[in-house]
Every structure is written in C-alpha cells, then in structure tokens.
Homo-oligomer: A and B are copies of this chain.
Amino acid sequence: MNAELISVGTELLLGEILNTNAQFLATELAKLGISVYYQTTVGDNPARLTDAVKIALNRSDMVILTGGLGPTADDLTKETVAEYFGLKLIRDKRSEQRIKDYFSRINANTVPSNFKQADMPEGCIILDNNNGTAPGGIIEKDGKIAVFLPGPPFEMVAMYKEGVYPYLSEKCTEQLYSREIQTFGIGESRLEDMLKPIMENQTDPTIAPYAKESGVMLRLTTKAHTQQEADDRFNPVEEEIKRIAGDIIFGYGEEQLQDAVYKLLKEKNIKIATAESCTGGMMGEFLTSVSGISSYYEMGVVTYSNDMKEKLLGVSHDTLEKYGAVSEQTAKEMAVGVLRASEADIGIGITGIAGPTGGTDEKPVGLVYVGLADSKGTVTFRELRLNGSRERIRRITVKNALNMVRMHIKETF
C-alpha cells in the first residue's frame, strides 16, 4: 500500500509553524511498511484543497489529511473530502455529546459553530478526540482510503495512536520494527569501521549508524510479525556490537546520558556533586531534568570567578596562579573541593573556554578539562578539545562529563 500526506493550514504556507505532523506520520507509516511518495501542504482554500486531494487519490491508495477541522468557516477539510467521495455530512450525536461534555469540563459555553465539528461524512469511521473537540475520521470508498485528523500535534498524535494505527496495522501483517541503540564515546566513522565485519554481512536486521551530538545512534531494523520476533533478531546483533565496541551503549530510544547516570546512582545508592565553570550549571540542569534525582544529586556550584573557586571549593591560589583556571589541576581541585564540601561519593569539576571569546593560542576556545574525584580517593580528569558554537561546546562538555561519571560508576562502585 502507498499513501500521501496532505497538511492543511495557511500558517504552514506562511512558514509560521514547522510541519512536525508530516514527519510524525511519515515515520509511523514507514514503520508499517506503507510507502509515502508525496507530501503536500496546502492552505485553507477549498478549490486548491480539492485539487490536492484529487491529485493525491488519483496516484495513491490512501491520503492522510491533517488540519482544517476547526469550528470556523475556513476549516473545510472534512467538507472537501466528503464532497470528493460524494458523501453527505451528517450530525453525529455521539460526537455532539462529547463536544458538549468537553466544554462543560472546561466550564465554557458552546456556540452553534462548535457543533459543525460533529458533522461527519456519512458512513465514515469516527475517531474520537480525547484532547480536543474535533473528531477525526476514516473514509473507505471505491478502493481508496482517506483519513482526516486534527492539526494540533498533540491531538493528532494521540488520535493516530488510538484510532489510526490499530486500523492500519490490521491491514499490514508484517511491520517494520526498529531498535535504537544510543552509544557514546566512539565517533561515527570509527564505530562504522569497527562494526564493518558485522554490518557488511548483516542484511536482517539492518544496522544504520546516525551521528548525533550525543554520540552515535545505531538503528537496527527488521520486518517482522511481532515485537518478539523482531527482538529475537535484534538481541544477538546487539550482543555482537557490545563484544566489538565495548561498553559504549548507554540507553535505548529516547534515553539520555543523564537517565543512564541516574539509574546507576540509584542502583549503587551513591551521591554526586558538581562544580562548574564554563558550563555554568548545565550539568546540574541535565542531571535534575531526571525526576527523582534529588536524592542522589547532593549539590552543585557554579564558580565563574577564581575568587569563588578558592572560597567555595578551596582550589589553591597557587594552582590558579601557576596553571590557570582552565587546567587539569584546577579541574581536579574543583572536583575534590565539591566532593569535600558536599560529602557526596563522586565530585565533578568542569573548567574550560566555551567561547566565542577568551581563547588564546595555548588555550584555544573549546579547550575543556573535566575533573573527577570520588570518596575512594580516585582523582582523575579528561581533556576535551571541542569546536562549534558556545552552546555546542557546553553541551558536548556536559555529555562527556556525564559519560565519564557513567563509566566511572560502572568500573569503581
């Protein structure tokens, strides 16, 4: 089966919003093995919309439209599609009631135009909207399928998952399953090189590396009838990757390095403390983006000035004089200092030059030192030489620091 996407909305044509709906649906359909050959964006204009629907259903089996289901006069997606199929719009009592309920829930009054949203093409499958007022629908006629969904992404995504996916997955016995393996610590080309032996003879599942700011994401993909069947193919390949590349896998799917660190802190029941200079609190912010971290993140300090590094962290004046604020020694003393002050189990000290100004020949922008100290007496560090914008340098620094913590806990605690 092949399909087309039609995004309806003048705000898209004006570039006021980014078309995330098209990306979401394209990804979902690809998973189902449904080919999407065209995506079209058109405004709230009946003539041009009709034109787009004709072209689409003329060359494809299915069209999924998003947007234009609102209560106002210029929302005409449903009307246009119904007319294309020669279907009348009929007031759907259930949807009408749901709209009434919705407004009473939010203590608002309805106006007649609200109920325009309950007028549905006769005989269509009605998709409830649990996050708004506009129901969606699926029309099957003359061997063609038209699906219409609301435009607001959170309404559309929920409706797709609750109503459209079950409908489509029945039509597609074999689906595309994928496992996204998040790795950190080895660059894309080197990792690809290391994995060549598997990747070359590996046709099912396929292995595709995607360079990301936080390391490399490896996507394993296979066509299968069930998740179990897919997992049975993924697992041995993942084992092989671990065998070759070592302990670089920190998570799956949407997982971030801070999630991996949180799991380890919790598992070993140890606490961390951070002292940041160039990252200005970003490491703390990443860590505390994980709910529940409070019991394991003892304290963080941001010490920009040397004065504060001495006062707050006890970095020695001589060290700052002799080696400078951006140095291996200072990073280590910051880590030791924050460890001492907090009585945590692991202390991190970050100092560097995030730029765009402040670099010298000997200490260029992007030079960063991350110090690590632990309650067992370990004091170590890493030197990073990064490039890119101030923001990028700060983010990559924090990700490297988080990975250092991840590896250190695994090895030491």
User: Which residues of A are at the interface with B, using a C-beta cutoff of 8 A?
Assistant: 12-20, 22-30, 36-43, 45, 48, 51-52, 55, 59, 274, 276, 278-285, 287-289, 291-294, 297-305, 308, 311-312, 341-342, 354-358, 390-391, 394
CB distance B281 to A302 under 8 Å?
yes
CB distance B22 to A20 under 8 Å?
no
Chain B residues, Cβ within 8 Å of A39:
12-13, 40-42
Given contacts A14-B26, A15-B30, A298-B305, 18 further A-B pairs with CB under 8 A are A14-B36, A18-B18, A18-B19, A19-B23, A37-B45, A40-B40, A274-B281, A276-B281, A278-B288, A280-B288, A280-B300, A284-B284, A288-B354, A291-B354, A291-B355, A297-B302, A301-B302, A312-B341
Docked complex Cα distance between A20 and B280 (Å):
30
List the B residue with the shortest CB-CB distance to A278.
B288
CB distance from A258 to the nearest CB of B (A): 11
CB distance A291 to B390 under 8 Å?
yes
Given contacts A281-B283, A284-B302, contact A37 B14 (CB under 8 A): no
CB distance B282 to A285 under 8 Å?
yes
| Residue in B19, B22, B289, B308 whose CB lies within 8 Å of A298 | B308
CB distance A280 to B299 under 8 Å?
no
Docked complex Cα distance between A255 and B399 (Å):
26
Docked complex Cα distance between A283 and B41 (Å):
39
Dominant secondary structure at the A interface: mixed
CB distance A37 to B43 under 8 Å?
yes
| Residue in B42, B51, B281, B358 whose CB lies within 8 Å of A284 | B281
Chain B residues, Cβ within 8 Å of A280:
281, 284-285, 287-289, 293, 297, 300
CB distance from A63 to the nearest CB of B (A): 14
| Residue in B43, B51, B308, B390 whose CB lies within 8 Å of A299 | B308
Docked complex Cα distance between A358 and B288 (Å):
14
CB distance from A350 to the nearest CB of B (A): 12
Chain B residues, Cβ within 8 Å of A341:
311-312
CB distance from A22 to the nearest CB of B (A): 7
Docked complex Cα distance between A258 and B77 (Å):
42
Docked complex Cα distance between A182 and B38 (Å):
37
List the B residue with the shortest CB-CB distance to A59.
B51
Chain B residues, Cβ within 8 Å of A20:
18
Chain B residues, Cβ within 8 Å of A276:
281, 284
Chain B residues, Cβ within 8 Å of A391:
289
Interface centre among A22, A27, A341, A394, by most chain B C-beta atoms within 10 angstroms, is A22
CB distance from A103 to the nearest CB of B (A): 17
CB distance from A248 to the nearest CB of B (A): 22
Docked complex Cα distance between A287 and B12 (Å):
33
Docked complex Cα distance between A281 and B272 (Å):
14
Interface centre among A20, A29, A39, A294, by most chain B C-beta atoms within 10 angstroms, is A39
Q: Can you name 18 A-B pairs with beta carbons within 8 Å?
A: A14-B36, A15-B24, A15-B25, A15-B28, A279-B288, A280-B285, A281-B283, A281-B284, A282-B288, A289-B394, A291-B354, A291-B356, A291-B390, A292-B357, A297-B302, A299-B301, A300-B300, A301-B302
Given contacts A14-B30, A15-B25, A48-B37, contact A302 B282 (CB under 8 A): no
